[in-house]
Amino acid sequence: MKTWKDISLYKFQQIEWINGRSDIDDLDKVCWITCEVFGLTEYELNEMKARIAAKKMRAVVRLMESRPEGEARKCIGPYEINYDPAAMTLGQFVELRHFLECPIAMGHLALASIASIRGEPYISDGHILRADYFLRQPVLNLMASLKEFAERFNEFIGTYNSLFGLDKDMFDQGQQVDRFNKQYGWIYSATVIAEHERITLDQAFGIPIRQAFNDLIYLKAKGRYEAEQHKLMMEKIKNK
């Protein structure tokens, strides 16, 4: 009988994609997932004896009645997982913010952003190789590890609520939801941090996340102060 220990993260991603489709019925979903779980082609499943095919499909239905709930691991294979968001760089934060929007489809990428060779510091080089490794590992403990980190990540972000989103007193609603701000806001933030620190953009992505956030807190306060001073000056000119 197949269990989640037998299912790689890649296969789990495919299963979730099949389950999420609205253009095929439930029976077709079970057939497709059966092929995915057992490594079969549709032709092989169709040509299989009915008794054997039905047994495999029943096993898949039982599997799908549960979710992969393992344990968050400190180490997965040769990699050590860092669950402390405060230990990240700005670059790690920005990519994790994106990857965790789709924790299943991009789970391997998120794990690659918090994994390092045991006993060694994190480096961005080798991200693709790490992501590929996690794709091929059993999903059971990977999802538990992702869930643990995501919870800590959200708690960490919660301590800096004032940084997220544009200041309502300085920008109108249209600007607050503007596509540019949504897609490129953190690139812009990294750019102003680089200018403030007098470093390159690449170096800015490498600074500790708390340092980056403290810079942004200062720059946001400075921008608010300058906007208020400009408003006062314009009012004085208007009233002359």
pLDDT of 115-157, one tens digit each? Answer: 999 999 999 999 999 999 999 999 999 999 999 999 999 999 9
- Between residues 133 and 164, which one has the greater pLDDT? 133
Reported confidence tier of residue 166, pLDDT bands at 50, 70, 90? very low
pLDDT for 177 beyond 90: no
Q: Which residue reads 């790490």 in tokens?
A: 130
Most confident stretch, 12-16, 166-170, 173-177, 179-183:
12-16
The pLDDT of residue 225 = 82
Written as six digits, the tokens of 35 are 């092929």
167 pLDDT higher than 70: no
Q: Which two tokens stand for residue 129?
A: 């190789």
Return phi, psi of residue 80, to 5°. -100, 135
| Burial bucket for residue 205 (CB in 10 Å: 0-12, 13-18, 19+) | buried
Q: How many angstroms separate the CA atoms of 143 and 108, rounded? A: 10
pLDDT value, residue 240 = 66
Q: What is the pLDDT of residue 165?
A: 52
Beta bridge mates, 80: 75, 116
Mean pLDDT, the chain, integer: 88
pLDDT, greater one: 177 or 50: 50
Q: Which band of pLDDT confidence, cut at 50, 70 and 90, is reported for residue 105?
A: very high
Distance in Å from the first CA to the final CA of the chain:
84
CB atoms < 10 A from the CB of 239, how many? 6
Q: Which two tokens stand for residue 169?
A: 């007193």
Res. 179: pLDDT tops 50: no
**Which pair of tokens denotes residue 236?**
């004085």
Average pLDDT over residues 201-226: 91
**Stated pTM of the model:** 0.85
Please state the domain extents for the chain: 4-64, 75-159, 163-239
Q: What is the CA radius of gyration of the chain?
A: 24
Whether 10 and 136 have beta carbons less than 8 Å apart is answered as: yes
